[in-house]
Chains A and B, each alone.
Chain A
Amino acid sequence: MLLRLSLFVWISVAMVVALLKAPLVPVLLETTRVLYFHIPCAWIAVVALGWSMLHSILYLVKRDLRHDDHAAAAAGLGLLFCIAATVTGALWAKAMWGAYWNWDPRETSIFFVLLLYTAYLALRSSIQEEEKRARLSAVYSVIAFVAVPFLVFVVPRMYDSLHPDPIINRRGKVDMDPMIVLCFNAMLVGFTGLYFWMQSLRVRVSRLERRAHAA
């Protein structure tokens, strides 16, 4: 209880300070505020992906369904944060460069991660038996693990080089004011806490559901 309350307070304070007190970044101006939300979302989308894949591998090795609970919960949450990151990113892109979507490397990467999440969840929804679902989705997760380095680091840069538009580095060579860095890191920590809290809730629900079915 105390932990939840402090998490709430932490994020609220960080948010308020970020929005009201932190200065604006020169190039980004008013849109600076997005980076307190958009980047933590993207960060969590990646953390959740890693967490899900780790537990998929653990499931295949140990065959303990608790790992599958973690993998599935992480995927659902990851999808949520990934959508949030993609949408806020698109809005930011519109404000900054006039177009919602440019297929620049970062947009492309986050979109591919989104595709992986939806594929994983679609696969899960097509299997009814618990053990089979856990096993097959874990196998897919490992396949995705092989594909991710290519999808996130290699392919977006390739695609982009086929387009003549210049690559715009969003985080740029901008000197970040220490206040901004502080608020930003605070938001990162807050989001991470938020994610793991939601994750634990979902895992507990899965476990309770399983116990209810078995009874």
Chain B
Amino acid sequence: MPASGSNSAVAVWTILRKECRSEWRTRYGLNAALLFALASLTAVSFAAGRLGDRSDVLAALLWIVLLFATLSSLSHAFVREVEGRTMLLLRLVASPTEIATGKLLFNVLFLAVVEVFAVPLFLVFTGAPPVRWGPFLAVLGLGTIALAASSTLIGAVIAQTRGRGALFAGVSLPVLLPVLAAAVSGTRQMWSAHPVAPSLRLLAAYAVALLAASLLLYDHLWED
């Protein structure tokens, strides 16, 4: 059966559905992530107080909370496979790129769910100024994709090592920094009524560069 584009799409979609189904059946990952998001969001907004007038600080704090959410939950995508020893199964039914793309889409969905919960709460707790929804959603959307692209890639690397959580955070931080910087910048621009396009372009460029590199790298990741 020759490999074809539509075949790959089917594989990716099947993997995505499997991830969602597994996640729904166990719900461990999502519960933990939501709880963690709530905890970090509470800590941050309580400690900072009502910052209605300091939108520059608010932007930074929001993305730090989202960064924490990413670091705490996205490595699980691959770690679970390694710990459940199901990597062999996956590698026999799909190519490395298909597997990684399925996981990436799942991670984007996962982060989106966490954000739907955490972002409105954050805005309320900190008394944030009114949000320009168009630009805000654009920055959130692209930022999420960029965060997921970075973490999925690094997660795939880390899952095969002996260190897990702390190592994931340390190793992924340099790669996540550009996303953080661009996303914070974009959010500030949104609140200060400046155009967010430059930040969006940066986020898009970085995400595209990483995804392009991923296509080349995933084939080298699982070889034993």
Contacts and interface: CB of A to CB of B under 8 A. Distances in A.
- In the complex they form, whether A and B have CB atoms below 8 Å apart is answered with yes
A9 interface: no
Given A119-B171, A136-B160, A139-B221, 18 more contacts: A112-B177, A115-B174, A118-B170, A122-B167, A122-B170, A123-B158, A126-B161, A126-B163, A136-B161, A139-B217, A140-B171, A142-B213, A143-B154, A143-B210, A146-B213, A147-B174, A150-B206, A155-B178
B182 interface: yes
A128 B171 CA distance: 17
Interface string A100-121: 0000000000001001101100
A204 interface: no
Contact of B170 (A119, A138, A139, A162): A119
A17 interface: no
A46 interface: no
Interface in B191-224: 202, 206, 209-210, 213, 216-217, 220-221, 223-224
19 contacts: A112-B174, A115-B173, A115-B177, A119-B171, A122-B170, A123-B157, A127-B160, A132-B160, A135-B223, A140-B157, A143-B157, A147-B178, A150-B206, A151-B174, A151-B177, A151-B178, A155-B177, A155-B181, A158-B181
A117 to B, nearest CB: 9
B153 A143 contact: yes
B55 interface: no
A122 B170 CA distance: 8
Interface residues of B, number: 32
B161 A123 contact: yes
Given A135-B220, A139-B221, A158-B181, A119 B174 contact: yes
A159 interface: yes
A126 B167 contact: yes
A176 interface: no
A29 B156 CA distance: 51
A60 B223 CA distance: 12
B185 interface: yes
Q: Which of A136, A145, A146 has most chain B Cβ within 10 Å? A: A146
Given A123-B157, A126-B161, A143 B178 contact: no
Contacts of A25: none
Given A154-B202, A155-B178, A143 B163 contact: no
A158 B179 CA distance: 12
A143 B177 CA distance: 13
B161 A144 contact: no
A154 B185 CA distance: 12
B217 A162 contact: no
Given A119-B173, A122-B171, A159-B181, A132 B224 contact: yes
A158 B182 contact: yes
